[in-house]
Amino acid sequence: MTLLRPFVEEDNSDLLEIEKLCPHGNDKIAESADKSPNAVARYDMYDNWKIYVAVENDRTAGWIGWTLKEDVNGTKYGYLIEIAVHPQFQKHGIATELMTKAEDDLRENGASYAYGYVFEENDASNALCKKLGYEIVNEMQLNAFFTYKQRNVSDDFSIRLADNEDIPDIVNLLNEYHEGWANFVPYTPESFEAHIKRVPGYGLDKLWIALSGEKIVACAGLWDVSTIYRMCYTKEPASMKIYGALLNFLKHFTNVPKIPAENEFFTNQTMVDYAFVPEAPDAMENLINYMNNATLDLESISIAAMFFSDDPLFPVLQRFKPFVEKWGFYQKSLDGEDRKFELIYPDFRDFVL
């Protein structure tokens, strides 16, 4: 008999343990996270959240976490943050019970729909979502490029760290860039300041701007996600193994990217709060080159950005020949209404494995 109950702090070690045993993927590629010491640190970035733990014969069998968000029109909706079931308890309907619990709670609290992201190679989770009536309504891409060599920064733009006086202009740029995108709530200078202070491993000292003359034409931040988690490939694709072996040889002669070995934990810098004026994709490219150079001494191996393919950042990042992973953006209506999701704001707080 499965008991579902709210999370308590004493569950932390069980959650960390289960997470390690629950990679996302299949027998060709799978990735896993280590969130120690605090399995739930990511939740503090949200205004509200709930975690329910499944207990089977006094043992922690799994958990689910979710948060209720609200868009600019006052529509409430839920984000299913994560779900995991201990391998010994899988295929007994526990995830189904946990998902149903989250949906019921979201519905009771006025949510119109629920969404979540699933790695395209995560066979179990994709099947679970489809079985429970979720549909892929868009595709989120992770684009990451390795940071290991200096990149040229053109002097067509002046690039520097942002300071307090720049915040109103940065806010205008972000609001214009994302205007009309689903789930984007325009910032005010005050809400933006509060937002950058709230994310651990991020802040004004990690937010850069590119200026053309006096005008800010591009901005972007880097979030050091190692403050929350590290990840590893528990199953590395064959192509990555071959590439890694080749680079291991070449590193004796030249500067090469660091490809983590299977089960080796690594971390990246996640690109956040980026925007640029439509006529200045080159400013964005130079800003990314600049951020690359600024992170070469850090332990992270790459800069990663997550976005939907209709984001204007997409063609800019292709110039960096990124490594790409695809994640389904699943949605399920909780109020019976059908919704269209075209341009979607990628809330970067969601992008923790």
The residue type found at 255 is: N
Position 331 contacts ligand COA (CB under 6 A): no
Position 125 contacts ligand COA (CB under 6 A): yes
Q: Provide the minimum distance between the beta carbon of 31 and ligand COA in the complex, in angstroms, as a whole number.
A: 10
Burial class (CB in 10 A: 0-12, 13-18, 19+), 197: exposed
Encoded tokens for 113: 């729909």
Position 220 contacts ligand COA (CB under 6 A): no
Q: Provide the minimum distance between the beta carbon of 56 and ligand COA in the complex, in angstroms, as a whole number.
A: 10
Phi-psi bin for 263: left (phi > 0), alpha (psi -120 to 50), beta?
left
Q: Which of 24, 206, 230, 258 is in the footprint of ligand COA by CB under 6 A?
A: 24
Q: Which of 60, 67, 122, 300 is in the footprint of ligand COA by CB under 6 A?
A: 122
Q: Which of 85, 114, 305, 316 is in the footprint of ligand COA by CB under 6 A?
A: 85
Q: Is 353 helix (H, G, I), strand (E, B) or coil?
A: coil
Report how far residue 174's alpha carbon sits from residue 274's, in angstroms, rounded to the nearest whole number: 7
Q: Provide the minimum distance between the beta carbon of 25 and ligand COA in the complex, in angstroms, as a whole number.
A: 8
Q: Which stretch binds ligand COA (CB under 6 A): 84-92, 156-164, 178-186, 314-322?
A: 84-92
Q: Which of 40, 111, 118, 196 is in the footprint of ligand COA by CB under 6 A?
A: 118
**With helix as H, strand as E and coil as C, how does 253-291 read?**
CCCCCCCCCCCCCECEEEEEEEEECCCCHHHHHHHHHHH
Position 90 contacts ligand COA (CB under 6 A): yes
Report how far residue 347's alpha carbon sits from residue 202's, in angstroms, rounded to the nearest whole number: 15
- Range list of H helices, 36-140: 94-108, 123-131
Position 83 contacts ligand COA (CB under 6 A): yes
Q: Which of 5, 28, 59, 131 is in the footprint of ligand COA by CB under 6 A?
A: 131
Give the binding site for ligand COA (CB under 6 A). 22, 24, 83-85, 90-96, 118, 122-125, 127-128, 131
